[in-house]
C-alpha cells in the first residue's frame, strides 16, 4: 500500500480502495456549444438506495446551481453546521471548502463560469461570495428553478437503469439556451480576465491587470463584480487549486510533488491549505472522499480538467 509524506510532516497511508464507494456514481456532460462560454459542465451524482448518507467536502469553486431529486442534501461553506439546501439552491463563488452530505437520491449540478454569472444572474458576485440560497420565488436565481423538472425521476427508489441522463442534460441545455437573451455587460473584459487568471505565468495583480487590458483599480472592480473576490485572492486561490488538482488525480502523490511553481516551500502551501480548505493537508488526505475522487476522474474524462476553476471558457458560439 503506498504511503506518502504529507506537507505538514505526517505520514499518511493512502488506500485507494478506501476512497471507492460502491453506492456512489458521478457522471458529467458538457453543455451545448453556445453555452460553453457560460457553463462549464453538468454533473449528476447518484447515491444508490440503501447506501448510508455520504459525506465529503468540495474545494473552492465558481458558482453552481445544485438540485436534489428524491434525496436530501445539506451543506456548509467554511466552518459550521450543515444545513438543508433542497430542492434547488444556488451558491456563489467560494473561497472556502464546502462540506456536504448526500442521502440516497439523485443530485444535479450546473456549474457556472464567471461569464455565466454575469449573463444569467447579473448581481455582483461579491454579494454572494461564500453564500448559499435555496431558490424561491423572489430569489435572484428564480429563473433557474424550472431546471428541477429537467430530471423527470422524483421517486426516491428510482435506480440508474431508469435514469435518462442524456435526456435530462438536453432539457437543461434547452432551458439555459432560452436564457441567453439576457444581456450582460462587459463580457469581453470578463473573458480576458478569466483567461489571464488561468495562466500560471500571471503571478501578480499588476500582470493580471495588464493581461486583461485594464487598470489595477478597474480590475479590482471587475473582480468583485464578476468573480466575487479581490484579484490578489483570486490568484492565490488559483495557485492553490492547481496544486490540489494534481493530488486529486493521483492521491498517492506526496504533497511536495503536487506543489505549484509559485510556492516558495511546503509551509507556504500549508498556510494556503488551511485558508482555503479549513483543515490540514494530512487530515484531508486521510479522510474518505466518496464523491470527489470519482468526480475528478469523471470530470477530467469529459472536460479535460478535474476542476471547474481550471477550465478555460470555450469560444464556441
> What would the pLDDT profile of 196-245 be if each residue is shown by its tens digit?
999 999 999 999 999 999 999 999 999 999 999 999 999 999 989 988 88
The top-scoring range by mean pLDDT among 18-22, 211-215, 264-268 is 211-215
Give bridge partners of residue 46 from the DSSP assignment. 25, 106
Q: How many CA atoms lie within 13 A of 51 on its CB side?
A: 24
Collect all residues with Cβ–Cβ distance below 8 Å to 86 and sequence separation of at least 6: 68, 71, 72, 73, 134
Report percent pLDDT > 70 for the chain: 85
Average pLDDT over residues 66-77: 96
Inside any domain, residue 4: no
| Cβ pair 32, 175 in contact under 8 A | no
In this prediction, residues 38-62 reach a mean pLDDT of: 96
Residue 70 in any domain: the answer is yes
Dist. CA 256–CA 100, nearest whole Å: 28
Q: Which residues of 188-227 are buried (b: 16+ CB within 10 A; e: fewer)?
A: ebbbbbbebbbeeebeebeebbebbebeeeebbebbbbbb
Establish if 284 belongs to a structural domain.
yes
Q: Is the pLDDT confidence value at 162 over 60?
A: no
Structure-model confidence comparison of residues 309 and 64, the more confident one: 64
Has residue 246 got a pLDDT over 90?
no
* 97: nearest Cα among 281, 288, 279: 279
pLDDT computed for residue 198 by the predictor: 93
Residue 74 contacts residue 82 (beta carbons within 8 Å):
yes
Q: Which residues have CB under 8 Å from 280's CB, separation 6+?
A: 6, 8, 270, 273, 274
Residue 1 has pLDDT above 60, yes or no: no
Strand ranges of the sheet holding 24-29, from the earlier edge strand across to the other edge: 24-29, 39-47, 105-112, 64-69, 88-91, 132-134
Residue 188 placed within a domain: yes
pLDDT of residue 153: 53
Greater confidence (9 vs 71) lies with 71
Q: Is residue 6 part of a domain?
A: no
Q: Which three cell numbers stand for residue 34?
A: 453556445
Is the pLDDT at 20 greater than 60, yes or no?
A: no
Q: Is 237 helix (H, G, I), strand (E, B) or coil?
A: helix
Name the β-bridge partners of 64.
91, 111
**Confidence bin at 129 (pLDDT 50/70/90):** very high
Q: What is the pLDDT of residue 225?
A: 96
Q: How confident is the model at residue 312 (pLDDT cuts 50, 70, 90)?
A: confident
Based on the structure, what is the number of domains in the chain? 1
Instruction: Enter the pTM of the model.
Output: 0.88
Residue 5 counted as domain residue: no
237 lies in which domain range?
Answer: 12-317
Answer whether residue 38 is part of any domain.
Answer: yes
What pLDDT was estimated at residue 148? 95
Q: 110: which 3 cell numbers?
A: 450546473
The stretch 124-137 carries a mean pLDDT of: 96
pLDDT bracket for residue 285 (50, 70, 90):
confident
Asked if pLDDT for residue 42 goes beyond 90, the answer is yes
CB 38 within 8 A of CB 60: no
26-35, 95-104, 184-193, 208-217, range with the lowest pLDDT: 184-193
pLDDT of 13 over the 80 cut? no
Closest to 22 in 3D by CA, of 293, 300, 299, 250: 293
pLDDT for position 156: 40
| Average pLDDT of the residues of the chain | 86
The percentage of residues in the chain with a pLDDT greater than 90, rounded to a whole number, is 66
* pLDDT of 14: 32
Residue 112: closest CA among 296, 308, 276, 314: 308
Which of 100-104, 111-115, 234-238, 265-269 is least confident? 265-269
Mean pLDDT of 122-132: 95
29 pLDDT band, cuts 50/70/90, is: very high
Residue 148 falls within a domain, yes or no? yes
- Look at 45 and 19; give whichever has higher pLDDT: 45
Amino acid at each position: 500500500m503506498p504511503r506518502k509524506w504529507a506537507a505538514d510532516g505526517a505520514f499518511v497511508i493512502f488506500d485507494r480502495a478506501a476512497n471507492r464507494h460502491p453506492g456512489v456514481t458521478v457522471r458529467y456532460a458538457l453543455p451545448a456549444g453556445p453555452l460553453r462560454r457560460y457553463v462549464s459542465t453538468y454533473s449528476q451524482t447518484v447515491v444508490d438506495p440503501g447506501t448510508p448518507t455520504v459525506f465529503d467536502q468540495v474545494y473552492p469553486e465558481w458558482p453552481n446551481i445544485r438540485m436534489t431529486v428524491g434525496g436530501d442534501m445539506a451543506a456548509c461553506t467554511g466552518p459550521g453546521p450543515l444545513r438543508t439546501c433542497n430542492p434547488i439552491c444556488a451558491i456563489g463563488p467560494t473561497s472556502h471548502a464546502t462540506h456536504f452530505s448526500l442521502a440516497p437520491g439523485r443530485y444535479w449540478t450546473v456549474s457556472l463560469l464567471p461569464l455565466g454569472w454575469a449573463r444569467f444572474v447579473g448581481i455582483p458576485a461579491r454579494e454572494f461570495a461564500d453564500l448559499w440560497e435555496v431558490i424561491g420565488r423572489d430569489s435572484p436565481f428564480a429563473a433557474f428553478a424550472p431546471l428541477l423538472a429537467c430530471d423527470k425521476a422524483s421517486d426516491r427508489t428510482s435506480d440508474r437503469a431508469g435514469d435518462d441522463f442524456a435526456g435530462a442534460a438536453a432539457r437543461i441545455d434547452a432551458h439555459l439556451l432560452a436564457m441567453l437573451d439576457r444581456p450582460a455587460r462587459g463580457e469581453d473584459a470578463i473573458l480576458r480576465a478569466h483567461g489571464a487568471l488561468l495562466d500560471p505565468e500571471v503571478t501578480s495583480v499588476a500582470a493580471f491587470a495588464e493581461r486583461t487590458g485594464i487598470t489595477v483599480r478597474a480590475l479590482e472592480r471587475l473582480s468583485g463584480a464578476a468573480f466575487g473576490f479581490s484579484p490578489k485572492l483570486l490568484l492565490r486561490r488559483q495557485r492553490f487549486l492547481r496544486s490540489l488538482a494534481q493530488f486529486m488525480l493521483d492521491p498517492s502523490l506526496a504533497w511536495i510533488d503536487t506543489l505549484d511553481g509559485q510556492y516558495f516551500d511546503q509551509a507556504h502551501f500549508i498556510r494556503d491549505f488551511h485558508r482555503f480548505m479549513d483543515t490540514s493537508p494530512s487530515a484531508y488526505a486521510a479522510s474518505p472522499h466518496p464523491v470527489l475522487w470519482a468526480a475528478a476522474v469523471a470530470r477530467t474524462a469529459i472536460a479535460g480538467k478535474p476542476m471547474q476553476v481550471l477550465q478555460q471558457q470555450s469560444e464556441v458560439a
